[in-house]
Structure 1
């Protein structure tokens, strides 16, 4: 069995567009006709350029290879061009293709991917969700309304979720770490207070920031929200300043989570070694793929740390997250996004029931991809999957964070 053909589909989720502006799906076919699906997570170049990178990685390092030889293909991609260091774009391309290889291997053997990774460790995976507007909420007002956030959180808890994530501390700016404005701190506290009062002890609060703050600013904000006992404080400073993140971790008393922008064990290991975070959030379509993150999970065990795979993408990466989660002892939870498009794209083959996911025993990733639906929604825009704003923090009027891909209004 050898890898033979590659097809790339860039599909755009319809409004409101949760999961990013587009998802890059890869379809890999072997010489004996087995099809594997993967997903390349958000890249720093547009989908046209990324298509070329994916094709190059496949042709250069994978075409004609036995899909079993994942370690060899990984080392080729990781070493390409005399690098042997994480290249976010190359790793994003390889990761989606690597996921497709596991899908192929599972289908060839009639076994789920987790059975090939050491077997089933977890019969249920705890799920969490970001707080999204409910149908009666105003899309513009939602992001600065503690009351609407509490309303959404209560809805999630009533559907069985035991953890909810929100990030009211804006802005999400390319200028790097900044000192939060007092309005942003007050708004963050108000969100935590309202959500905690709404859900009580039925759910954990997951506080996101997207690497927005200076070390001092992150400590200041973290200490302000600490009385509401968040389960985690996500990426409080830019992800490359490992020593500074460790200072935040030691000062705020809230578990630090990070990882959606990291790739390979080379970037995750220093986080653990320096005590910068105790919860790792790899995005499997970027971080190096399933096998590389299985290694990271093993490293995390040594440091008594847990994994909570990140998802702001489509359901193929979600399926990969679940297969990894089923096989490791130190899984905390998995992010999930429930929209009709996510569901229809994999024909309802993954379900969140009462806040938990039961890993499928179906071969491969355990999903059935609706290829026609993916092709029927091509991406035609010019933005990136996620983008940062250029404007600095507004210390006068406050800030309204709507994420790196604001909701589509139509």
Structure 2
């Protein structure tokens, strides 16, 4: 009998907005994954449960065949729900394989290309009044880089005052910290095409590290014009779910940094392929990660094995995490301890995180019903959050 035959698939929906997956083999080896779409946890859970019929009885070591079967075995492919469910399953299988062989996942991906990974965290940005205080706090925690929202609610064509206000945040940070702090700006898909160039004009003098998601991914054709115009590196990809979604922007040469999410873009297997594609186009990798410890551990395993990985996002302290933060479900939170702006190479077998299952079971009783805020313009019309 195959000692790594998959026997059980379990899900834990826990606050603040996470869904954890545990896959257990007949031998008792278990792996953790984080399959979730923020605001659609129940939908992804239903997809994982539906896919579990293809897992029970299979060898957990058959990662690639399972990935291909789950992706190609359905007539309809891709999209956030399927790819996020597949991502969590893939993470858990890599965790099992690493544990069963006694090595971290990055060793199975060819070995580490770096000994530590530069990190950044989120400091808000909707209001200039708080950015200095929040940035100072993060610097004290050891970060050398931060990211903030470039804008609050933004109309399709907005006022000159709003444009000036956007630049105020990064101006304050530059005046306070000079060039000692790297600053990413997230447009968050809130900005429509007509406003991107005026915003770039205001922001360029303050030298942001990147502009993230300058337009929604369904408007990626606009990147042709934005990329040619912008002296600031362009980043995108958190709402792109497979190598086929990234193929076109890489081929057109309209992105400098890709940001696939390890819980949305097909997991470790697929993001490794996406990273290799990006390397061939001389494009950097900075995985998106506003989620929990399993998603972050998965991203770091990719970062340690991919030469074009440049910086890694962490959700520690993000405002979503009130009451339940990144480290709260971990038995070994020290693996994410920051040292001079970096997390050292993860050396524990598998993904490298030990999850406190008793805390998960207690938190599951609380659960969550997190959903995106619904924002409206002054005239009552819907606007992007």
Verify same fold: TM over 0.5. Answer: yes
The alignment of Structure 1 onto Structure 2 pairs a total of residues equal to 372
Q: 1:389 aligned to 371, 374, 380, which one?
A: 374
Structure-1 residue corresponding to 2:320 = none
Shift of 1:120: 0.8
- Report deviation, 1:390: 4.6
In the other structure, the counterpart of 2:30 is 35
Contact 1:351 1:357 in 2 (8 A): yes
Unpaired runs of at least 5, structure 1:
14-21, 133-141, 405-410
Structure 2 length-normalised TM: 0.91
Indicate if the aligned counterparts of 1:12 and 1:377 stay in contact, CA closer than 8 A: yes
Displacement after TM superposition at 1:184 (Å): 2.5
Cα RMSD after superposing both structures:
2.2
Alpha-carbon distance, 1:262 to partner? 0.9
Equivalent position to 2:328, from 344, 365, 368: 344
Structure 2, unaligned runs of 5 or more = 318-323
Q: Residues of 2 paired with 1:27 and 1:196: CA distance?
A: 44
Using a 3 Å threshold, how does the CA distance of structure 1 residues 252 and 53 change in structure 2: closer, same or farther? same
Query: Which residue of 2 is the match for residue 361 of structure 1?
Result: 347
CA distance in 2, matches of 1:105, 1:161: 32
Alignment correspondent of 2:55:
62
More helix by share: 2
Structure 1 position 388, deviation (Å)? 4.8
Which deviates further from its counterpart, 216-225 or 61-70? 61-70
Q: Distance in 2 between matches of 1:43 and 1:74?
A: 22
Please state how far the C-alpha of 1:291 moved relative to its aligned partner. Answer: 1.2
Correspondent of 2:78 among 86, 105, 115: 86
1:309 aligns with 2:287: yes
Question: In structure 1, what is the Cα distance between the partners aligned to 2:193 and 2:304?
Answer: 35
Query: Which residue of 341, 351, 360 corresponds with 1:374?
Result: 360
CA distance in 2, matches of 1:360, 1:295: 21
**Matched position secondary structure for 1:344:** coil
Distance 1:320 1:49 in 2: 22
Q: Secondary structure at the match of 1:376?
A: helix
Deviation at 1:395, TM superposition (A): 8.4
Cα shift readout 1:360-384 (whole Å, capped 9, x = no counterpart): 2110011110111122223544443
Deviation at 1:275, TM superposition (A): 2.0
Q: What SS is found at the alignment partner of 1:36? A: strand
- Contact 1:157 / 1:202 at 8 angstroms: preserved in 2? no
Per-residue CA deviations over 1:150-191 (Å, capped at 9, x if unaligned) read: 22213323433221101141227xxxx823433331221110
Q: Work out whether 1:298 is the aligned partner of 2:270.
A: no
Deviation at 1:44, TM superposition (A): 6.1
